[in-house]
Amino acid sequence: MERRNQPRYGVKQGTFAVLRSTSIELSKIKDMSMGEIAFAVIKSKPIKMGQVVNISTDGLAFHYIDSKKGSNSLFKMDILFAKDAFFLDRILFKPVFDFEIKTDIPLNSFAIRKCGVKFGELNQRQRSQLEYFIGHHTVDSAELKPALHRWNDERLMLFRANEMVESLA
């Protein structure tokens, strides 16, 4: 029985989920090179970080190496696709599952886990960025509404103004 409300799409290689304490913020990532982005993420001391496996407008799943690091802090999630300098930050989420993946690697000294999360309420900017990402950086080329483009305040204001004019006509 399918429990998901939205279809899931595979993501392009190099897309990462980063779970970090709410007290740590990453900033100015759009002005950074891929190397600088990677360094900033590592420097932020993420609680968990791993390769995103699939994504929808409701949540995502990712693989990560279990570091046995525990914390009682509140977490927020960032989605990072460094190849295109895409960075969606401060997503609230709720874990849905987290289990160990059995591997065929002999004498494996670390555990690889798969974690699935459901997104909390997204603000307008986050929703727009997420839909842009799904429309442009997924393997299964998601077909989303054409109004969903890279986040841009001016574009959103023009889009909203056009919607209002059309509704008045």
Does some domain include residue 4? no
Does some domain include residue 43? yes
Does some domain include residue 147? yes
Cβ atoms 91, 126 nearer than 8 A: yes
Does some domain include residue 3? no
Domain interval for residue 116 = 9-168
Does some domain include residue 2? no
Does some domain include residue 114? yes
Does some domain include residue 115? yes
- Nearest CA to 16 among 70, 74, 83, 68? 83
pLDDT one digit per residue (tens) for the chain, 169 residues: 345 578 889 999 889 999 877 555 555 666 777 677 777 777 777 888 999 999 999 999 999 988 766 555 567 899 988 788 788 988 999 999 999 988 777 666 778 899 999 999 999 999 999 999 999 989 865 555 443 444 443 434 444 444 444 544 4
Does some domain include residue 1? no
